[in-house]
Structure 1
Amino acid sequence: MPAVSVLMVFHRDGPHLRPAIASVLAQTWRDFELVLVDNGSGLDASDLGELGQDARVRWVHLPQNVGIPGGHNAGVAAARAPWVALMDYDDVSQPERLARQWAAAQTVGDDVGVISGQAERINAAGEPVGQCEFSLGPDDATRQRDYAAYAGAWVTQTSLVRREWLTALPYREVFPFAADLDWQARASERGAALILPDVLLRYRWHDGQTTQARRDEIERSRAVILLISQRRRAGRDERLAEALAELEGMSAAAAWWQVAEWAATEGWAEAAAYAARRSWVLERGWRRAGQAVRLIAALPAAARARAWRMALRGPVRALGVRGTP
């Protein structure tokens, strides 16, 4: 049985698929399997030439595209190793990625379920365009939990995750394009992530990727994830289906504003302020700014200072989070 299962889900045969697969098979540490989940494309091993003949490649063929969460969960179910390395089909893993993560995994306790790292952003041609999105420092378990309600606390595509965590917390299909953000928020309540300073992956940034093409849907999902995380952490029912139904068809800015009002009503000042801030970012103007000012002014006096700090500085500074490296 391999020590690590690398999970890669794809739904089409694009120009970046083969480089992604090749980067996994070229790892310097070799005790792994590559679980390729064909999400309805009909691609066969023979279509990949020598890459498809590697004995470490295992296929999961889905007859139709069941979406990112469904493909992810199918891959987790097929994985045999106790640790699962996540990777998108258009990214490139550094040759030492698994070696560094496996070494780190041997040093952590049972409370750490994720070993993540840094990612360099590249364009469609593979040219560097800067550091990837924000990742928290390696010893900020409490702040990881706080921050994960607002945004990704680590770069999902660089993650090595205990399979038991992925089994216990499957991706939720109601978040077709933000299931990883919802998963991080829930996983951060279960335990900690160790985030390495090493650049483990080259993250491809291009117009055709889901994060670019589905921005509005992702923003609506983020708004819901913030709200239900607050409810869940307060021991309340998430009321997930209700929130999704009420926000359906709204613009991203309107969805964030609705969540701001709900959060204020339910007593979460910082979440309300952030949601109001996000609504203004997406729809700048005096109307949104005035709404935000009035909402924060109406909060209980004891909570206003924290709310203003969140509205003016954002969650990184308001929550005292530091980045890596």
Structure 2
Amino acid sequence: MASDTAPINNSADFVSVIIPAYNAASYIKETIESVFSQTYRHFEVIVVNDGSPDTIILEKVLQPYLESIVYLTQENRGLSGARNTGLRAAKGNLISLLDADDIWLPDYLGQQVAFLRDNPERDLVYCNAEFFGEGITPGQFYMNACPSEGEADAAAIISKRCTVFVSVTARKEALQSIGFDESLRSCEDLDCWLRFAAAGYRIGYQRKVLARYRRHAASLSANAERMLGFNIQVMTNALSLFPAQSNEADLIHEAIEKRKAELDIVKGKKALKSREIEAAKAHFQNANLHYHSAKNWWLLQALNVAPVLVVWLFRMRSMVSIKHRQNNG
């Protein structure tokens, strides 16, 4: 259902806002309020309950909005499945994706719609965002941590020269033609942007801070091992999108090797925490094949000479880190 004050004379700029909901009852009210506080009023809101275990509480939170939103339910299919369901139900010519724990600033829609109007050669636009939530110091911004420089083409996305912020606004026809891979339970957005760019669609961005990006322990992005595993899968799948001798293929191979090394670091730390010395050494040795890091080399020497001390120091450091996050959460 469109906003009450939506104009009826510009259907080309009607926006379908898609909000997947899974264990989001604690946050979604603030998210929805940020949409209904937009200065741009020509939109509909589609909330997709993705088989959420908190459905009873979620629907109580959504009750005041049910006459103003499209509310859909389905068995759990992950973010990809929820977004695809929203895409199929969307009436707008433009699509905006919004996670159920993030927040838009009041001019998000106005600025993003204007960008696509003024840049007809672009099919999707993302923006900058401020981080907030557990352990986040105010004033930290997405594009400081994840820069965007130059053309946001496939090569830039693979090499992380451009990192697409997930709260995008896109032309419906383009995004629907690509869709989200429902076999992926993480990094489904990266997979979509790579296929989007490989298909010839063009991605734009603006550096304006138009959203707030919540970080918390329950967010998918908080699980580094899971994220890296799916990232490697996405990059491996992406090899089929480009010629074997292309620059993109070379960059993908480099990215896969780097992600594997990062994953070995994560697994090595996990093994240290569990006092699995030999497993930790194996992971750090694998990582060092890529990084050739002096820090990793010295860590491996220390594990050979004084493994008990290394484990103790690592556990102490982890405890201090956890306490710091709790004090600043």
Shorter-chain TM-score above 0.5: yes
* Partner Cα separation in structure 2 for residue 288 and residue 58 of structure 1: 49
Report what 1:104 is aligned to: 115
* Partner Cα separation in structure 2 for residue 292 and residue 155 of structure 1: 26
Residue 292 of structure 1 is aligned with which of 290, 293, 298? 290
Q: 1:66 to 1:152 in 2, by over 3 A?
A: farther
C-alpha contact 1:116 1:155 (8 A) present in aligned 2: yes
One-letter amino acid matched to 1:28: T
Q: Which of 1 and 2 has greater Rg?
A: 2
Report what 1:114 is aligned to: 124
C-alpha contact 1:115 1:161 (8 A) present in aligned 2: yes
Residue 162 of structure 1 is aligned with which of 166, 171, 178? 171
Deviates more, 1:190-199 or 1:272-281: 272-281
Deviation at 1:131? 1.0
Report what 1:275 is aligned to: 256
Residue 88 of structure 1 is aligned with which of 89, 95, 99? 99
Deviation at 1:18? 0.6
Q: 1:48 to 1:126 in 2, by over 3 A?
A: farther
Deviation at 1:47? 3.8
Residue aligned with 2:206, SS? strand
C-alpha contact 2:131 2:212 (8 A) present in aligned 1: yes
* Partner Cα separation in structure 2 for residue 168 and residue 179 of structure 1: 15
Report what 1:300 is aligned to: none
Deviation at 1:223? 1.2
Residue 205 of structure 1 is aligned with which of 212, 215, 224? 215
* Partner Cα separation in structure 1 for residue 291 and residue 190 of structure 2: 28
* Partner Cα separation in structure 2 for residue 176 and residue 37 of structure 1: 16
Report what 1:61 is aligned to: 73
Report what 2:64 is aligned to: 50
Report what 2:310 is aligned to: none
Deviation at 1:224? 2.3
One-letter amino acid matched to 1:221: F
User: What number of residue pairs does the alignment pair up?
Assistant: 257
Deviations 1:109-160 (A, max 9, x none): 24x11011101100149973611241424x514xx31022355934443210
Counting only pairs closer than 5 Å after superposition, residues 109-148 of structure 1 correspond to structure 2 as 109-110=120-121, 112-124=122-134, 128=138, 130-132=140-142, 133-137=145-149, 139-141=150-152, 144-148=153-157
- Paired-residue identity, %: 20
Deviation at 1:169? 0.7
CA RMSD between the two structures: 2.9
C-alpha contact 2:262 2:287 (8 A) present in aligned 1: no
Deviations 1:238-287 (A, max 9, x none): xxxxxxxxxxxxxxxxxxxxxxxxxxxxx955443443333333334762
C-alpha contact 1:22 1:51 (8 A) present in aligned 2: no
Report what 1:38 is aligned to: 49
Residue aligned with 2:98, SS? strand
Report what 1:247 is aligned to: none
Report what 2:185 is aligned to: 176
Deviates more, 1:12-21 or 1:87-96: 12-21
Residue 232 of structure 2 is aligned with which of 223, 233, 256? 223
* Partner Cα separation in structure 1 for residue 66 and residue 161 of structure 2: 33
One-letter amino acid matched to 2:92: A
